[in-house]
């Protein structure tokens, strides 16, 4: 458990919140260690009830750390948003061949009759939906 404080290398792109979490974990860890130490001392002095109390505090501290530590980390790997992608919908008007692109909207699908053409009376049809990697940071 002592290794934990040494493995605090900054996470790639770590936000300030991670440092707050990390600091809180270190504090809780230190308190838990102290509690366990006090518990063992009390146990040595045959103060079983006090020892038991400290043990509970210490153990729950470690459980809290373990819980925080093994939860999915938002920065290291989040499969839901590894990079920012834009989904682009391309619309074409079959009558005047006007082409338009816009951001993907919920419910878009290819060959869907979408919005009215801005140039003629026709209806624009979605011809492709694709992702585009966002260049800007």
- Phi and psi, residue 126, nearest 5°: -75, 125
Six token digits for residue 36: 């366990």
Using CB under 5 A as the binding rule, the residues of this chain from 32 to 61 that contact Zn ion are none
Q: Which stretch binds Zn ion (CB under 5 A): 8-16, 61-69, 82-90, 116-124?
A: 116-124
Least gap, CB of 99 to Zn ion (angstroms): 10
Binding to Zn ion by residue 119, rule CB under 5 A?
Answer: yes
E strand or H helix that includes residue 86: strand 85-92
Least gap, CB of 103 to Zn ion (angstroms): 20
Cβ within 8 Å of residue 87, ≥6 positions away: 103, 104, 129, 130, 131, 132
Least gap, CB of 113 to Zn ion (angstroms): 12
Binding to Zn ion by residue 120, rule CB under 5 A?
Answer: yes
Closer residue to Zn ion, CB minimum distance, 73 or 102: 102
Helical H runs in 1-137? 16-44, 48-70
What does DSSP assign to residue 94? Answer: T
Six token digits for residue 71: 């939860």
Binding to Zn ion by residue 95, rule CB under 5 A?
Answer: yes
Binding to Zn ion by residue 122, rule CB under 5 A?
Answer: yes
Binding-site residue total for Zn ion (CB under 5 A)? 8
Terminal alpha carbon distance of the chain: 38
Least gap, CB of 119 to Zn ion (angstroms): 5
Residues that bind Zn ion (CB under 5 A): 93, 95-96, 98, 117, 119-120, 122
């Amino acid at each position: 458990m002592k290794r934990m404080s040494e493995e605090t290398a900054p996470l790639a792109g770590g936000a300030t919140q991670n440092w707050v979490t990390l600091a809180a974990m270190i504090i809780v860890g230190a308190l838990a260690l102290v509690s366990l130490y006090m518990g063992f001392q009390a146990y040595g002095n045959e103060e079983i009830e006090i020892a038991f109390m400290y043990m509970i505090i210490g153990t729950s501290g470690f459980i809290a750390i373990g819980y925080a530590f093994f939860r999915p980390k938002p920065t290291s790997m989040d499969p839901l948003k590894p990079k920012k992608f834009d989904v682009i919908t391309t619309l074409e008007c079959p009558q005047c061949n006007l082409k338009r692109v816009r951001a993907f909207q919920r419910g878009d699908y290819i060959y869907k009759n979408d919005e009215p053409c801005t140039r003629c009376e026709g209806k624009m049809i979605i011809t492709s939906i694709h992702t585009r990697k966002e260049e800007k940071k």
